[in-house]
Amino acid sequence: MIKTDVLVIGSGPAGSSAAKHAALGGADVILIDKKSEIGAPKRCAEGVSKQGLEDLKIEPNQRWITKELDGVRLISPNGTSVWLTSDEIELPEAGYILERKVFDKYMAMDAARAGASIRVKTLAHGMRKDSEAYVVTCEHMGELFEIKANIIIAADGPESRVARWAGLKTATKATNMESGIQFEMVGVEMEKQDVIEFYFGSVAPGGYAWIFPKGDDIANVGLAIIANDTEKSAYQHLKEFVATCPATQNAQAVELNIGGDPVGGMPKKIYGDNILVCGDAAGQVNPLTGGGIISGMKGGMHAGIVAAKAIAEEDFSEKRLNEYDKNVRDDIGDEISKYLKVKDFALSLSDKELDSVAIAFQDIEFEKVSTTELVKNLIKVNPKALLKLGKLI
């Protein structure tokens, strides 16, 4: 039996952030992951904002940045483009495309430097309550052992088994779980090499398609769909997109990534006695873009900070750990709720309506790239948006 203050299950960015901050707060921390290589395989389009990294006090490192971005291109079903780049507007919220296989390792290394003990190729098989702690049965290289921890931080991704073992209802409804699929491709011919592209409409029912440049002629090309909204598989939609999109018709895939993305917002309950849930496991994902690196890491940070305080006070009760829920919702809850409303409205528009919005946007001068600015201009060109989104501005 191994004993520790905090056991973090899952070493994605959220889990590593939780382990780092719990260790910085003085707790004994173990971070486990079932994979033999942290960061692989990736399940992500790999985009982050500069402001997000700054909020987390993470210094950009050229080892895990593949491309600095200079804006966004939005493409409607008929091919009408809306360019939001520094040529047209001021960009307060620029960003980077990462190499997740490197970034995730670096975040785990930060946790190790803070004092966390990392165990790779370690699978959590089950969990039971033991007095004022949880005991987790683990397997490493065919050998079973147990870890007893006062606080468990579940960062094991969508449909978290760990949260379910603790009796928390964090599972995402099928209508809010996007099926994501992506090629990393070479030979991609983009009009601008430092702009991320989003394609909307029936190209990806329930979601959107994307091209995220990674330097030279390399890009992540993918899409996310809601399976209930289409009879085709995500793979079929992606193959059709790649074959018809001018940027990818001559490109070739060198990697295939798949994964689920919870875009329904945070569940009502993401904590309990001796347990905190963060990252994708807690729905800490931008519902509009599906991006969850920064929001998940913020969730992990708050989980780690509160866990360390609770350990110092020797109080691991649900009442004590409620501070995590309050802090994380104060930080990212409003944004997630706002993005959820915009996503639901965008998905209610037909291809024809999306085309008309894009055409109308041609005559509008955007002041900056932000959700509020997007909503403001949607309301200008689409009367239906005022009823659905008026309260957001």
CB 136 within 8 A of CB 146: yes
Average pLDDT value for residue range 286-292:
87
Question: Which pLDDT belongs to residue 92?
Answer: 45
Query: In which band, very low, low, confident or very high, does the pLDDT at 175 lie, cut at 50, 70 and 90?
Result: confident
Of 83, 74, 78, the C-alpha closest to 355 is 78
* Residue 358 to residue 338: CA distance in whole angstroms: 21
CB 198 within 8 A of CB 224: no
Between the two ends of the chain, the Cα-to-Cα distance in Å is: 54
| Gyration radius of the chain over CA positions | 21
Task: Describe the chain by its helix, strand, coil percentages, rounded to 5.
Answer: 35, 30, 35
Residue-wise pLDDT tens digits, 297-325:
999 999 999 999 999 999 999 999 999 99
Average pLDDT value for residue range 151-166:
95
- Side chain identity at residue 351, one-letter code: D
Q: Is residue 342's pLDDT more than 90?
A: no
Average pLDDT value for residue range 2-23:
98
What contacts 387, CB < 8 A, 6 or more positions away?
none
Torsion of CA 349, 351, 354, 356, to 10 degrees: -120
**Mean of per-residue pLDDT scores for the chain:** 92
Q: Which two tokens stand for residue 238?
A: 């992606």
Question: Which pLDDT belongs to residue 144?
Answer: 97
CB atoms within 10 A of CB 148: 15
CB 236 within 8 A of CB 155: no
Residue-wise pLDDT tens digits, 347-371:
889 999 999 999 998 888 777 767 7
CB atoms within 10 A of CB 107: 28
Of 116, 115, 117, 124, the C-alpha closest to 146 is 124
* Residue 230 to residue 225: CA distance in whole angstroms: 8
Q: What percent of the chain has pLDDT over 70?
A: 96
Q: Which residues pair with 8 in a beta bridge?
A: 31, 153
Domains observed in the chain = 2-45+101-173+264-343 (3.50.50.60), 68-94+176-262 (3.30.9.10), 346-392 (no CATH)
Q: Is residue 343's pLDDT more than 50?
A: yes
Residue-wise pLDDT tens digits, 83-131:
887 665 555 456 899 999 999 999 999 999 999 999 999 999 999 999 8
Q: Treating both helix axes as pointing N-terminal to C-terminal, what angle do 371-381 and 334-347 enclose, rounded to 10 degrees?
A: 30
Candidate from 28-32, 166-170, 289-293, 373-377 with smallest mean pLDDT: 373-377
Candidate from 69-73, 166-170, 319-323 with smallest mean pLDDT: 69-73
φ, ψ at 308 (rounded to 5°): -65, -40
Question: Which pLDDT belongs to residue 387?
Answer: 79
Residue-wise pLDDT tens digits, 239-269:
999 999 999 999 999 999 998 999 999 999 9
Query: In which band, very low, low, confident or very high, does the pLDDT at 71 lie, cut at 50, 70 and 90?
Result: confident
Higher pLDDT among residues 378 and 166, named by residue: 166
Q: What percent of the chain has pLDDT over 90?
A: 75
Question: Which pLDDT belongs to residue 89?
Answer: 53
Q: Is residue 19's pLDDT more than 50?
A: yes
Q: What is the DSSP letter of 174?
A: G
* Residue 150 to residue 307: CA distance in whole angstroms: 9
Higher pLDDT among residues 306 and 171, named by residue: 306
- The conformational region for residue 265 under phi > 0 = left, psi -120 to 50 = alpha, else beta, is left
What is the sign of the dihedral through the CA atoms of 134, 137, 138 and 144?
positive
